[in-house]
Amino acid sequence: MTHNVLVVDDEPKLCDLLASALGQNGITVFTAGNGLHALKVLEVEDIDLVISDWRMPGMDGPQLLGEIKNRFPQLPVIVMTAYSTVKNAVQSMRNGAFDYIAKPFDIDELDITVSKALQFRDILQDNQRMRAELDEHQQIDSLIGDSPSFRRVLQAIDSVRESNATILLTGESGTGKEMVARAIHKHGNRADKPFVAVNCAAIPEGLLESEMFGHRKGAFTGAVADRVGRFLQADKGTLFLDEIGEMPLALQAKILRALQERVIEPVGDPRERKVDVRVIAATNKNLLDAVANKEFREDLYYRLNVFPIPLPALRERVEDIAPLARHFAQILGATAGKRISGFSPAALQAMAHYSWPGNIRELQNCVERATIVASGTVIDDDDLPAYLFAASAATCSAIPNEGMGVPSDLEAALAQVERNYILAALEQSNGVQAAAAQLIGISERSFWYRLKKLGIHVDKIVR
């Protein structure tokens, strides 16, 4: 496999030296004379590794490292410095650097460090490809569990899969709502027709109507060609509306009409189009509260809530954690070229005692990391992310000692647990919000909302 490496240094001779040394190993080398130039290269080239000087004019190495961790959180960075001190090395590692090398450096040492960083990058990319394949082809296989609460979900899927009823999936972020939607489609009477998924929160409000219903050429500025909307793309099949609670009120009325009358009207086209679509909606919000607050149409809520399926949080189906973890370890281990046979009792106990606010998505991320760092065939508690134990300690500290009674303010106690957990995730990610959100398996938007709700200021956390 060929790799692309970006070398950033204000000394052209050093850039040429590194390009020559790395090029002998079949690596394509890009160079940049400063941090700003490096960011421009990263925007247009597919870079696998950055090797950056520590001291440079303008944007220096630490500043560039911070920008890379914010924009490209999975891109490894090796810092090189002629001022090799423990302080600089520790600071670079704390800020997210993969490793560091000291000038003047030995070429063999450089080759070893670069090889390790590229191997780490390859594992991350393989896992991303595996997850994409899993999402497309193996969603039903991830519906694993035999707990009473999850058996009720499986029974509901079996009951509704052959019907055309509109379904509303509810549950916390990461509980597997899209997997359930795909399972219903795959085992229903529309399995050979399209499954089209739309994240209502990810599309700008001004483009959402065009995205849903399509538009005619010239309907608005930028409409340079006709566009088929998601409803028509899903004709005869299933349309999955994820995060339906984030849909603007103005568009909710048009969605309601499409559901009631089975017709749509593309933007800029007065002609109505008939559609035959089975709609599955999902939300992690309490839509009844949203209705009461005039944030969601009551008539649309009842139109969507024909067949509700609530998905339990992972902490409500603790007995399913072990089989889910083993399933993920088997797939992720094979992708990483490792044979993972299972988990130690200590690791299983640690996972069982954790609250999993990110649910199944967080569990998969946790197992992925553990699979990468595990040195043997069995994942031990030392291989698990540190935030599992930090959050558990925070949870224990929030519970009164025996004899103190029930907390007088349960909401405040839960908020403190959530706050401690968020702080632990930020500590684990060195204050990078995108990375912290990924660690716990929630969206950046949801993570930002929690920060705002809890009054956490990230600039006070980063060290």
Q: Which residues pair with 240 in a beta bridge?
A: 197, 280
Better pLDDT: 126 or 260: 260
Give the closest residue to 131 by CA, choosing from 438, 448, 445, 446.
438
- Look at residues 321, 326, 391, 314 and name the one whose alpha carbon lies nearest to residue 352: 321
- Token pair of 159 as six digits: 């009951």
Position 206 pLDDT exceeds 90: no
Q: Which of 216, 171, 174, 178 is nearest to 196 (CA)?
A: 178
Residue 401: is its pLDDT beyond 70?
A: no
Query: pLDDT value at position 25?
Result: 84
Give the separation between CA 238 and CA 65, rounded to whole angstroms. 43
Question: CB of 157 within 8 A of CB of 140?
Answer: no
- Average pLDDT over every residue of 232-260: 93
Least confident of 190-199, 252-261, 388-397: 388-397
Predicted local confidence at residue 294, as pLDDT? 93
Calpha distance 143→160 (Å, rounded): 16
Cβ burial of 218 (10 Å; 0-12, 13-18, 19+) is exposed
pTM across the whole model: 0.57
What is the C-alpha separation between 146 and 348, in angstroms, rounded? Answer: 17
pLDDT value of residue 90: 67
- Mean pLDDT lowest among 63-72, 100-109, 245-254: 100-109
Beta bridge partners of 227: 215
Residue 128 is predicted with a pLDDT of 66
What is the model's pLDDT at position 397?
45
Cβ atoms < 10 Å from Cβ of 444 = 13
Task: State the pLDDT at residue 201.
Answer: 86
Instruction: Give me the sign of the Cα torsion angle 104, 107, 113, 118.
Output: positive
Scanning 49-173, the segments in alpha helix (DSSP H) are: 61-71, 86-94, 107-137, 148-160
Percent of the chain with pLDDT over 90: 38
Query: What single DSSP character describes residue 382?
Result: G
More confident residue, 412 or 58: 58
For the stretch 76-94, pLDDT in tens is 999 887 655 656 666 777 7
pLDDT, tens digit (0-9, with 9 covering 90-100), for 162-189: 999 999 999 999 999 999 999 999 999 9
DSSP 8-class letter at 267: B
Res 399: pLDDT: 45
User: Is 71 within 8 Å of 42 (Cβ atoms)?
Assistant: yes
pLDDT for the residue numbered 441: 65
Q: CA angle 452-169-187, nearest 5°?
A: 140
Q: Which residue segments constitute the domains of the chain, with CATH numbers given?
A: 4-135 (3.40.50.2300), 142-312 (3.40.50.300), 317-460 (1.10.8.60)
Distance CA 162, CA 179 (A): 17
| pLDDT tens-place string over residues 37-49 | 999 999 888 899 9
Q: Does position 137 have pLDDT exceeding 90, yes or no? A: no
Which residue from 379, 295, 391 is spatially nearest to 336, judged by alpha carbons? 379
